[in-house]
């Protein structure tokens, strides 16, 4: 090590390139998105996308046949996401999804779009042939598209944990917190989530809010989560936590909250709402109103899906037990809390924070490596889950009221 | 004991991490026996007065009854009694602001 101060600087971000979009955002990928609009069109859409797995074609969809404003909003957000360059919509024909509205929104965004309706396109075989031909015709233009230099201030980063263990709150989550601080200081937009796992952190969060009204909105989001999960019958602190050294509910929550770092909280957003400017935001992941449609987010992927719908280019995902998930449209960078799982699943893990528990790296050291992983991914390097072909996506029924006026102060 | 960081630099291994500068507890990275030295990478060192299992907290400074236990810059509970430097900080001497944890939850 020649210069001890060198490690304090941000990783080299000079190689980052982006695809400029008409709305001013810049993508770090230029995917073809294939989207089915009801489960009945899923197989046909998968058959269209399958031959192009290694050419950046992404498959998403909404399984429901009944209308949903929330699902419509999330699907439109994905179809106009900066990482998407062209969109193929696959409809059965009789579902209630508003397919023409979605097609028109994509066309208005300046992207090539095609809507194939299976009932009028020759059924399965005819539709698959048309879809594959359309995708093949898009790929050369997408590959040739000019890129422009981008900086960290062009990026929206989401943070998420899943399959946490006793070291997650000591190693990888605080390291993500340091990375979050570095990113916010560099002008990036960062979001964190999991209001149901922030019970006990609401006063600390409120003190970080940029206005008193936002502080109250943050408290309200946590209270809503507490009330909702209590109605569902979920409890959240017990013997296993204590065995691993956690003394209180608020200390347990801190394990997840640590990912948010220490910078001021600029706003509270809901799925599909884009943060209006750089800084740190909390994503409200719990339904508004009474308990409806069951558990708000049925797994990690649904929460990640919501963050991508709010514009995340990349996701920092932390795990202890060893999750392998990736995500459609936004590459996932995975950090693991301990070296034992890192050695066992190195092919899936981008960053090992077990070095902190091993006593050989600091939290800040790993935080800088996470930022380096982001600049690498934004320079075109595939993340581990991306290279392995992961494209997880989950969208289910939820209900949200519009954002209140105090949620996004200037 | 020593480890190799990804840049090849060798450092002496630590068994303790302090997550934020103002914290009054550190977290054991490995099981630390009573009487052993708890040591961070950046030079904090103290003698453990109790056994501190991995993931558990040790008092870095005296924490007086009613004072906040601070971890990663956030209060994570209130001291039920005065806690001396080097002692284990856990359910026996920390109260939650939210949920009664004053029971023996150990299996």
Q: Summarize the confidence of residues A101-108 as an average pLDDT.
A: 98
Closest listed residue to residue A115, CA positions, set A92, A141, A82, A83: A92
Torsion of CA A189, A303, A402, A220, to 10 degrees: -90
Q: Are A227 and A194 in contact (CB under 8 A)?
A: no
Q: How far is A82 from chain B (nearest CA, A)?
A: 33
Nearest-by-Cβ selection for A237 from B7, B11, B99? B99
pLDDT for res A244: 85
pLDDT band at residue A10 using 50, 70 and 90 as cut-offs = low
| B9 has a chain A CB within 8 A of its CB | yes
CB within 8 Å: B57 and A245: yes
> Using CB atoms, which residue from A244, A248, A359 is nearest to B94?
A248
Angle between helices A363-377 and A172-185 (to 10 degrees): 60
Length of chain A: 410
Q: Which string of DSSP letters, residue by residue, matches A183-223?
A: HHHTT-EEEE--GGG-TT-HHHHHHHBSSHHHHHHHHHHHH
Picking from A372, A288, A301, the residue whose alpha carbon sits closest to that of residue A330 is A301
Query: Which residue from B15, B77, B107 is facing A250, i.e. has the nearest CB?
Result: B77
Tell me the residues of chain B between 45 and 74 that have a Cβ less than 8 Å away from chain A: 53-57, 69, 71-74
* Nearest chain A residue to B104, by CA: A239
Structure confidence by residue, pLDDT tens digits, A12-35? 678 899 999 999 999 999 999 999
Sort out which chain B residues have CB atoms less than 8 A from A365's CB and list them.
5
**pLDDT digits over A253-305, tens only?**
999 999 999 999 999 999 999 999 999 999 999 999 988 888 888 899 999 99
Q: How far apart are CA B88 and CA A389, in angstroms?
A: 46
Higher pLDDT: A199 or A217? It is A217
Whether residue B90 contacts residue A245, with contact meaning beta carbons closer than 8 Å, is answered with yes
The residue in chain B having the minimum alpha-carbon distance to the alpha carbon of residue A169 is B55
Q: What average pLDDT values come out for chain B (107 residues) when binned by 10 residues?
A: 46 87 95 97 95 96 98 94 97 88 53
Between A250, A356, A358, which is nearest B96 by CB? A250
How far apart CA A280 and CA A261 sit, in angstroms, is 9
Contact assessment for residue B95 and residue B68, using Cβ atoms and an 8 Å cutoff: no
Question: What average pLDDT does the segment A306-334 reach?
Answer: 97
d(CA A404, CA A39): 33
Q: Which residue of B has its CA nearest to A357?
A: B29
Which residues of chain A are at the B interface, by a Cβ-Cβ cutoff of 8 Å? 1, 166-167, 170-171, 174, 177, 199-201, 204, 237-239, 242-251, 254, 257-258, 262, 355-363, 365, 369
The pLDDT value recorded for residue A166 is 87
């Amino acid at each position: 090590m020649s210069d001890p101060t060198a490690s304090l600087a941000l990783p080299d971000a000079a190689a980052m390139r982006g695809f400029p979009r008409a709305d001013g955002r810049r993508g770090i990928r230029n995917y073809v998105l294939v989207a089915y609009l009801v489960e009945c069109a899923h197989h046909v859409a998968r058959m269209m996308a399958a031959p192009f797995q290694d050419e950046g074609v992404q498959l998403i969809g909404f399984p429901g046949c009944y209308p949903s404003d929330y699902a419509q909003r999330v699907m439109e957000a994905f179809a106009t996401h900066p990482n998407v360059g062209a969109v193929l919509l696959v409809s059965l024909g009789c579902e209630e999804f508003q397919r023409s509205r979605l097609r028109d929104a994509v066309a208005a965004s300046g992207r090539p779009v095609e809507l194939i309706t299976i009932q009028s396109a020759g059924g399965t075989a005819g539709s698959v042939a048309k879809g594959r031909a359309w995708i093949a015709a898009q790929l050369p233009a997408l590959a040739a598209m000019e890129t422009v230099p981008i900086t960290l201030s062009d990026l929206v980063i989401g943070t998420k944990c899943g399959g946490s263990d006793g070291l997650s709150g000591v190693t990888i989550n605080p390291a993500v917190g340091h990375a979050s601080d570095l990113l916010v200081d560099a002008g990036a937009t960062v979001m964190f989530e999991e209001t149901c796992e922030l019970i006990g952190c609401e006063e600390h969060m409120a003190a970080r809010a940029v206005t008193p009204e936002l502080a109250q909105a943050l408290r309200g989001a946590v209270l809503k989560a507490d009330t909702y999960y209590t109605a569902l019958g979920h409890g959240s602190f017990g013997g296993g936590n204590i065995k691993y050294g956690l003394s209180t509910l608020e200390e347990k929550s801190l394990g997840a909250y640590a990912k948010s770092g220490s910078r001021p909280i600029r706003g509270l957003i809901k799925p599909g709402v884009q943060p209006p400017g750089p800084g740190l935001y909390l994503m409200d992941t719990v339904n508004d109103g009474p308990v409806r449609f069951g558990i708000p987010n049925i797994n990690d992927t649904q929460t990640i899906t919501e963050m991508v719908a709010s514009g995340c280019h990349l996701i920092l995902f932390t795990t202890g037990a060893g999750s392998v998930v990736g995500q459609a449209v936004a590459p996932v960078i995975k950090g693991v809390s301990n070296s034992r799982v890192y050695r066992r699943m190195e092919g899936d893990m981008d960053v090992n924070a077990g070095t902190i528990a091993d006593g050989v790296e600091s939290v800040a050291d790993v935080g800088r490596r996470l930022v380096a992983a982001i600049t690498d991914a934004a320079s075109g390097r595939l993340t581990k889950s991306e290279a392995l072909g992961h494209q997880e996506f989950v969208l289910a029924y939820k209900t949200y009221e519009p954002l209140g006026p105090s949620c996004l102060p200037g | 004991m020593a480890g190799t960081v990804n840049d090849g630099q060798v450092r002496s291994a630590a068994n303790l991490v302090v997550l934020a500068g103002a914290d009054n507890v550190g977290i054991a990275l490995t099981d630390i026996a009573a009487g052993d030295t708890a040591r961070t990478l950046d030079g904090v060192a103290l003698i453990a007065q109790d056994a501190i299992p991995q993931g558990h907290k040790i008092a870095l400074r005296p924490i007086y009854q009613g004072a906040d236990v601070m971890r990663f810059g956030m209060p994570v509970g209130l001291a039920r009694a005065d806690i001396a430097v080097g002692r284990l900080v856990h359910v026996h001497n920390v109260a939650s602001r939210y949920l009664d944890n004053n029971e023996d939850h150990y299996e």
